[in-house]
Structure 1
Amino acid sequence: MTETEAIAYDVVVLGAGPVGENVADRIRAGGLTTAVVESELVGGECSYWACMPSKALLRPVIARADARRLPGLSGAVQGPLDTDAVLSRRDTYTSHWQDDGQVGWLDGIGADLYRGHGRLAGPRTVTVTGPDGTVTTLTARHAVAVCTGTRAQLPDLPGLDGVGPWTSREATSAKAAPGRLIVVGGGVVATEMATAWQALGSRVTLLVRGKGLLNRMEPFAGELIAKALTEAGVDLRTGTSVASATRENGTVVAVTGTGDCIEADEILFATGRAPQTDDIGLDTVGLEPGSWLDADDTLRVTGTDWLYAVGDVNHRALLTHQGKYQARIAGSAIAARAAGDPVTAEPWGAHSATADHDAVPQVVFTDPEAGAVGLSLAEAEQAGHRVRAVDVEFSSVAGAGLYGEDYRGRARMVVDVEQEILRGVTFVGPGVGELVHSATVAVAGRVPIGRLWHAVPSYPTLSEVWLRLLEAYRDS
């Protein structure tokens, strides 16, 4: 092991995923020097094992489903997908798991990249152990930003070590469709991967411990997606846990809590995420290794004046776009503090991540799609708001008919009846992902219901659902 002399920067960023990249970008825009430390690929989980490959797998699935609903086109798309072509396109979207382009982007903004395992070594100090064992010490004049994200969390099951289970990484990077696939979980990863691999030729069994899918969304979202998955051929079993899993002669054997045995070629556990903070030196600054890092609205870790936790590691909102939003906030706050400027908690300011509390958007890329922002009805009531839910079916919208026959979908807005603003909005149906940003603007901007009447939707588009929702609220 060779140690080098310490190198000083204004800011050191641990992790070069989308969050770390955006922190570095805002830091450099603020005139500060920055070092970025990465042990894997620059671009992180989203670029290579999550957002980009999963959506590349799903897009042909959704396009075929949309085409099958259209008379005049449906007959031409009844055959199977070309799985090899879909996987090849997926590989292109991941840049074949090469990060040259992302490295070039970091270089273009003037950030210095250090490849290796980064660990805190006391306040404002990071050591980087490179692939050749060389240890480089970096010191930060102003801040260290932890942007190390999360990893898949596997359950503690008898026999699992010998199974070689899939996590989200294997599910999005597999080189072929398994003949039989068990998916364990009922959240976003589970539903999206069940959708993708069933369409790509696998026989999918989806095991859900709870009563339904997507339990953090409005109940009807999970119900509509469950119906569609079942119709597509997925064997969906709710109220079903996995008691053990083994691999016998190459075959996975999963035993459920009720004693049923299910055989498959692979098993995917989509059962949660854990913070990537086990071995980053948190103990050297008085924090617990492996813990989520509590951060304020400027993303500064509670009890420190130099350590920031940005993205998934702070457990505020485990979504790439939300982490990038936090990164912009954190980078601006760090630069402002370095310049001696005041950083306040003013709700509408550039240094306060208020959207994490009440305006987090998400899209689930299943068929049908589900998209939501803000609070569900149950969440709003739990938070103590006086609210009313207004529901409409997309069958009342002329634009939905253009998507083809038997368009199934629903929209809900959760209205604060005291303030006459929206606390949350949910859409389910083909193509609704593109509606979510309009809802995000309404929720984040606290646009009064009275003003929303003057945001006129174009005819005939799905966005006319806004008019139907407003009419339903007025008439109820």
Structure 2
Amino acid sequence: MTDSTADAGKTTTGGSPYDVVVIGAGPVGENVADRARAAGLTTAVVESELVGGECSYWACMPSKALLRPVVARADARRVPGLSAAVRGPLDTAAVLAHRDEETSHWKDDGQVAWLDGVGADVFRGTGRLTGPREVTVTAPDGTEHRLTARHAVAVCTGTRAVVPDLPGVAEARPWTSREATSADRAPGRLVVVGGGVVGVEMATAWQGLGSEVTLLIRGGGLLPKMEPFAGELVADALGEAGARIRTGVSVTAVRRRDPGGPVTVELDDGDHVEADEILFATGRAPRTDDLGLETVGLEPGSWLTVDDSCRVEGTDWLYAVGDVNHRALLTHQGKYQARVAGAAIAARAGQAAVDTAPWGAHAATADHAAVPQVVFTDPEVASVGLTLAEAERAGRRVRAVDYDLGSVAGAGLYADGYRGRARMVVDLDREILLGVTFAGPGIGELLHSATIAVAGEVPIARLWHAVPAYPTISEVWLRLLETYRG
């Protein structure tokens, strides 16, 4: 393995040739490198922060470590004979300590060793395009190293949190998702701005860990990109847990007079909210503003538009994989794209046939048709494919089939007073599923069955022969099919 920090004190002007250069060593970049190396291509990986990326240290892993005990306690409180034993507060210090273990205490030795094991060379520093097939790495000490790529440069730099430009926001030092997942204590009062996935997950986590949470939503409800019932069920549960939810309001200013003092959040209706911390969960922007895109005729700071093999449009050597292409901002979907892009790079490098037809080996078709997502709130929400509204906007002739999850025998055994709902969106012309959504305790593990049905375009008639085990929550599949047939 090559590590550019070993060249401290020198400025390298010569180039190091590789078959593939990957900018960004998060899960996406790691998977591109793995696929390239598996095909026998020499590969360099450039990383300016921690190898392992956002997901490992400030997103997926720490957030789920915070959420798991909160959701497990909520589930246990619904089980007769167990509920009385879990009435006390969580051990917040123990939860945070476990979170630190899951993030490897923000050290990347293990991830670096993994890349070393696949034979990729790691360069520490900021990588910028300085021309076609050329990346210049600036190490922390100012040393520069020029890398050239025979076949491909893959941009896997992901996204950053967007904080709105409001009066007083800089002085208030607001949380983004990074601070929310890495905080060393539970704030007494936390304001969360935004009702998307990050907002509801962090509201769930910190409310469960002892914070008094207020959610401020500009629109009309939570999880606006999912089926409406999903956000409604999550809102009900957050309210019952003690969180305050205010919809139809916007933040106009943020004030923090003393560095360690409270923050005042001013609203457009003339009201205000006081808290110890404020989290803005208001969207993401691509990390492309300092990437040197202008040197290859692209606009700095832009999302990178790609074809289904994740190759940037108008080029034959530049790939953009993961969140940076704005197709599906999810770690697992980015890793899927990485497998597809890595295979496409290898095929083109070897002048082999490239199959970019829908569902082909070199096409990330699932980005359009079968994107799965789990929201780890109480209750959990899981979805794949299109919502009813999305299918109707696309001009499909569809029918939504709904079922009360609490009516399934397995749900009654899972929890007393189980509340949940399932929906499948059926393409009436082809009699296949276009989308499925579940909302309820413990339904995250149901999602892959739905993903297989949607991605595989399994006919409704064949789904009748996929028999769910009794008594499990998955028996909802039979109930949905019965409801569809009438």
Q: TM-score interval w.r.t. the shorter chain?
A: over 0.9
Paired amino acid for 1:148: T
Give me the identity figure in percent. Answer: 76
Report the alpha carbon displacement of residue 261 of structure 1 after superposing the two structures with TM.
Answer: 1.2
Choose which of 270, 284, 297 in structure 1 pairs with 2:308: 297
Q: What does residue 358 of structure 2 align with? A: 347
Q: Please, which of 322, 336, 343 is the counterpart of residue 325 of structure 1?
A: 336
Equivalent residues, number: 475
Whether 1:197 and 2:209 are equivalent positions in the alignment is: no
Q: Is the 8 A contact 1:119 1:127 kept in 2?
A: yes
TM-superposed deviation, 1:361: 0.3
Query: In structure 2, how many angstroms separate the alpha carbons of the residues matched to 1:236 and 1:391?
Result: 27
The yes-or-no answer on 1:66 pairing with 2:75 is yes
> 2:430: which partner in 1?
419
Per the alignment, residue 3 of structure 2 pairs with none
2:290 counterpart letter in structure 1: D
User: Do the aligned partners of 1:12 and 1:36 also contact (CA within 8 Å) in 2?
Assistant: yes
Match of 2:454 among 415, 440, 443: 443
- Residue equivalent to 2:196: 187
Give 5+ residue unaligned stretches, structure 1: none
The alpha carbon displacement at 1:364 in A equals 0.2
- In 2, the alpha carbon distance for the partners of 1:339 and 1:384 equals 41
2:364 maps to a residue whose letter is: A
2:4 match? none
Find out whether 1:378 has 2:389 as its counterpart.
Answer: yes
Distance 2:117 2:355 in 1: 31
Q: Does 1:47 align with 2:52?
A: no
Measured in 2, the distance between the counterparts of 1:404 and 1:314 equals: 41
Alignment of 1:172-321 (within 5 A): 172-249=181-258, 250-321=261-332
C-alpha contact 1:387 1:414 (8 A) present in aligned 2: yes
Deviations 1:36-76 (A, max 9, x none): 00000000000000000000000000110010001110000
d(CA) in 1 for partners of 2:484, 2:355 = 37
AA in 1 matched with 2:297: G
Instruction: Give the distance between the partners of 1:407 and 1:101, measured in 2 at CA.
Output: 41
1-side partners of 2:257 and 2:418: how far apart? 44
Question: Equivalent residues in 2 for 1:356-435 (5 A)?
Answer: 356-435=367-446
Q: Secondary structure of 1:402's match?
A: helix
Cα RMSD (Å)? 0.7
Residues 392, 410 of structure 1: 8 Å contact kept: yes
CA contact (8 A) 2:355 2:361 kept: no
| Runs of 4+ more than 2 Å apart | none
Aligned residue for 2:303, secondary structure, equals: coil
Shift of 1:129: 0.4
Q: Secondary structure at the match of 1:350?
A: coil
Aligned to 2:128, the other structure's residue is in SS state strand
Question: Cα deviations across residues 237-269 of structure 1 (Å, max 9, x unaligned)?
Answer: 011110100102311000011011111000000
Alignment of 1:36-185 (within 5 A): 36-185=45-194
Cα displacement string for residues 343-378 of structure 1 (whole angstroms, at most 9, x for unaligned residues): 132222210000000100000000000000000000
TM-score, structure 2 as length reference: 0.97
Q: Secondary structure at the match of 1:459?
A: coil
Query: Are the counterparts in 2 of residues 198 and 232 from structure 1 also a CA contact under 8 Å?
Result: yes
Distance 2:229 2:407 in 1: 17
User: Which position in structure 1 is the counterpart of 2:38?
Assistant: 29
Aligned equivalents of 2:263, 2:270: Cα separation in 1: 15
Task: Supply the distance in 2 between the matched residues of 1:204 and 1:240 (Cα, whole angstroms).
Answer: 16
Q: Deviation string for 1:205-259 (max 9, x for gaps)?
A: 0000000000100000000000000000001001111010010231100001101
Asked if the contact 1:397–1:462 (Cα under 8 Å) also holds between the matched residues in 2, the reply is yes
Could you tell me whether the CA contact under 8 Å between 1:396 and 1:468 is conserved in 2? no
